[in-house]
A and B are shown apart, each in its own frame.
Chain A
Amino acid sequence: MARMKIVTGSNHGLPKSIIEKYDIRIIPFPLSLGEENYRDGIDITLEDFLKKLKNTKLSPKTAALPMGELNKAYQELSEEADAIFSVQMSSGLSIATYQAAQKARETVKADVEVVDTKQTLGGVGLIILEIAEAIKRRKSKAEVLQIINEVRTRTNSIFALPDIMYLYRGGRIGRAKSLLGSIMKIIPLIAFRNEEGMVSPLGKARNVFQANEKIIGTIKSDMEKVGSTKIRCVISDVDNKIAARQLKETLQKNFECEIIEGEMPCCGVVYLGPKAWGLAYYLIK
Chain B
Amino acid sequence: MGEKIKYCDGKKLKELILASTEWVNENKTMLNNLNVFPVPDGDTGINMSLTLQGAANKIRDMNGNLSRIADTVAEATLMEARGCSGTILSQWFKGFAQSVKGKQGINSLELAVAFQKAAETAYQAVENPVEGTILTVVRESADKALQLAKKEADLIRLFEEILITAKQSLAKTPDLLPVLKDAGVVDAGAQGFVFMLEAMLNNLQGRKPELPKIISVQGVFDTIKTKKENLVNKYCVECVIKGGDSRLDEIKAKLDEYGGSLIIAKSAGLLKIHLHTNYPKKVLQYCSSFGNLLQPKVDNMKKQRKKYLSSIENTSKKKQIGIVAVTLGKGLVEIFRSMGADVVIAGRRTMNPCTKDLIKSIKRIKAENIIILPNDPNVFPVAEEAKKISTNTYVIPSKTIPQGIAALLAFNAEADLITNRENMNKALKKVKTGITTYATDQRKFGEIEFKKGNILSFYEKEIKIVGKDVQETTLNLIDKMIAKDDKLISIFYGKKIKAKEVKKLVERIKSQHPELEVQFYYGGQPNYYYIISVE
Q: Mark A198-231, 1 if CB is under 8 A from B, else 0.
A: 0011111111011000000000000000000000
- A182 interface residue, CB < 8 Å from B? yes
When chains A and B are docked, how far (Å) is the Cα of A185 from the Cα of B409? Answer: 11
Q: Mark B329-348, 1 if CB is under 8 A from A, else 0.
A: 00000110011100000000
When chains A and B are docked, how far (Å) is the Cα of A1 from the Cα of B12? Answer: 79
- A178 interface residue, CB < 8 Å from B? yes
**In the complex, which residue of chain A has the Cβ closest to the Cβ of B405?**
A184
Q: How far is the CB of B478 from chain A (nearest CB, A)?
A: 17
* Inter-chain contact B334/A201, CB cutoff 8 Å: no
When chains A and B are docked, how far (Å) is the Cα of A182 from the Cα of B335? Answer: 7
Known: A183-B338, A184-B405. A200 touches B488 (CB 8 A): no
**In the complex, which residue of chain B has the Cβ closest to the Cβ of A189?**
B412
Residues facing A in B290-341 (CB within 8 A) are 334-335, 338-340
Known: A178-B340, A204-B409. A184 touches B414 (CB 8 A): no
Chain A residues within 8 Å of B340, by CB: 178
Q: Mark A179-203, 1 if CB is under 8 A from B, else 0.
A: 0011111100000000000001111
- A175 interface residue, CB < 8 Å from B? yes
Main secondary structure of the interface of A (DSSP, over half): mixed
- B279 interface residue, CB < 8 Å from A? no
Chain A residues within 8 Å of B409, by CB: 186, 203-206
When chains A and B are docked, how far (Å) is the Cα of A207 from the Cα of B430? Answer: 14
Query: How many cross-chain pairs have Cβ atoms below 8 Å apart between A and B?
Result: 43
- B490 interface residue, CB < 8 Å from A? yes
Chain A residues within 8 Å of B7, by CB: none
Chain A residues within 8 Å of B414, by CB: 175, 200-201
* Inter-chain contact B519/A184, CB cutoff 8 Å: yes
* Inter-chain contact A201/B339, CB cutoff 8 Å: no
Main secondary structure of the interface of B (DSSP, over half): mixed
Q: How far is the CB of A191 from chain B (nearest CB, A)?
A: 10
> A184 touches which one: B339, B410, B412, B535 (CB < 8 A)?
B339
Number of contacting residues on B, CB 8 A?
A: 18
When chains A and B are docked, how far (Å) is the Cα of A199 from the Cα of B409? Answer: 19
Q: Mark B463-489, 1 if CB is under 8 A from A, else 0.
A: 000000000000000000000000110
When chains A and B are docked, how far (Å) is the Cα of A174 from the Cα of B413? Answer: 13
When chains A and B are docked, how far (Å) is the Cα of A201 from the Cα of B487? Answer: 25
Chain B residues within 8 Å of A200, by CB: 414
* Inter-chain contact A178/B413, CB cutoff 8 Å: yes
Chain B residues within 8 Å of A202, by CB: 412
* Inter-chain contact B412/A206, CB cutoff 8 Å: no
When chains A and B are docked, how far (Å) is the Cα of A182 from the Cα of B339? Answer: 5
Known: A175-B414, A184-B405, A184-B521. A206 touches B338 (CB 8 A): no
When chains A and B are docked, how far (Å) is the Cα of A202 from the Cα of B519? Answer: 23
Q: How far is the CB of B27 from chain A (nearest CB, A)?
A: 25
* Inter-chain contact B488/A203, CB cutoff 8 Å: no
Chain B residues within 8 Å of A184, by CB: 335, 338-339, 405, 490, 519, 521
Q: Mark B88-102, 1 if CB is under 8 A from A, else 0.
A: 000000000000000
Chain B residues within 8 Å of A182, by CB: 338-339
Q: Mark A155-189, 1 if CB is under 8 A from B, else 0.
A: 00000000000000000000100100111111000
**In the complex, which residue of chain A has the Cβ closest to the Cβ of B517?**
A207
* Inter-chain contact B335/A183, CB cutoff 8 Å: yes
Count chain B CB atoms within 10 A of each CB in A178, A200, A206, A210 and give the residue with the most: A206
* Inter-chain contact A201/B535, CB cutoff 8 Å: no
Chain A residues within 8 Å of B487, by CB: 207, 209
* Inter-chain contact B334/A183, CB cutoff 8 Å: yes
Known: A202-B412, A206-B490. A185 touches B338 (CB 8 A): no
**In the complex, which residue of chain B has the Cβ closest to the Cβ of A180?**
B338
* Inter-chain contact A207/B488, CB cutoff 8 Å: yes
* Inter-chain contact A201/B413, CB cutoff 8 Å: yes
Chain A residues within 8 Å of B521, by CB: 183-184
Q: How far is the CB of A182 from chain B (nearest CB, A)?
A: 5
Residues facing A in B28-54 (CB within 8 A) are none
Chain B residues within 8 Å of A206, by CB: 409, 488, 490, 519, 535
Q: Mark B384-413, 1 if CB is under 8 A from A, else 0.
A: 000000000000000000000100011011
When chains A and B are docked, how far (Å) is the Cα of A181 from the Cα of B413? Answer: 15
Q: Mark A47-83, 1 if CB is under 8 A from B, else 0.
A: 0000000000000000000000000000000000000
> A203 touches which one: B335, B410, B490, B517 (CB < 8 A)?
B410
Chain A residues within 8 Å of B519, by CB: 184-185, 206
**In the complex, which residue of chain A has the Cβ closest to the Cβ of B334?**
A183
When chains A and B are docked, how far (Å) is the Cα of A186 from the Cα of B517? Answer: 13
Count chain B CB atoms within 10 A of each CB in A183, A204, A205 and give the residue with the most: A183
> B412 touches which one: A201, A207, A210 (CB < 8 A)?
A201
When chains A and B are docked, how far (Å) is the Cα of A117 from the Cα of B413? Answer: 26
Residues facing B in A105-127 (CB within 8 A) are none
When chains A and B are docked, how far (Å) is the Cα of A162 from the Cα of B519? Answer: 15
Chain A residues within 8 Å of B488, by CB: 206-207, 209
When chains A and B are docked, how far (Å) is the Cα of A205 from the Cα of B339? Answer: 12
Chain A residues within 8 Å of B410, by CB: 203
**In the complex, which residue of chain B has the Cβ closest to the Cβ of A213?**
B430
Q: How far is the CB of B107 from chain A (nearest CB, A)?
A: 44
When chains A and B are docked, how far (Å) is the Cα of A202 from the Cα of B521? Answer: 25
**In the complex, which residue of chain A has the Cβ closest to the Cβ of B430?**
A210
Q: How far is the CB of A2 from chain B (nearest CB, A)?
A: 42
When chains A and B are docked, how far (Å) is the Cα of A206 from the Cα of B335? Answer: 14
When chains A and B are docked, how far (Å) is the Cα of A200 from the Cα of B414? Answer: 8
Chain B residues within 8 Å of A175, by CB: 414
Chain A residues within 8 Å of B490, by CB: 184, 206
* Inter-chain contact A181/B412, CB cutoff 8 Å: no
When chains A and B are docked, how far (Å) is the Cα of A204 from the Cα of B339? Answer: 9
Q: How far is the CB of B431 from chain A (nearest CB, A)?
A: 9
Q: How far is the CB of A214 from chain B (nearest CB, A)?
A: 9
**In the complex, which residue of chain A has the Cβ closest to the Cβ of B406?**
A206
Q: How far is the CB of B389 from chain A (nearest CB, A)?
A: 29
Chain A residues within 8 Å of B335, by CB: 183-184
Chain B residues within 8 Å of A185, by CB: 519
26 CB-based A-B contacts, threshold 8 Å: A178-B340, A178-B413, A181-B338, A182-B338, A182-B339, A183-B334, A183-B339, A184-B335, A184-B338, A184-B339, A184-B405, A184-B519, A184-B521, A186-B339, A186-B409, A200-B414, A201-B412, A203-B412, A204-B409, A206-B488, A206-B490, A206-B519, A206-B535, A207-B487, A207-B517, A209-B487
A-B complex: 9 closest residue pairs judged by Cβ atoms: A183-B338, A183-B335, A182-B338, A204-B409, A209-B487, A207-B488, A203-B412, A181-B338, A178-B413
Known A182-B338, A186-B409, A203-B410; further 19 A-B contacts with Cβ < 8 A: A175-B414, A178-B340, A182-B339, A184-B335, A184-B338, A184-B405, A184-B519, A185-B519, A201-B412, A201-B413, A202-B412, A203-B409, A204-B409, A205-B409, A206-B409, A206-B488, A206-B535, A207-B517, A210-B535
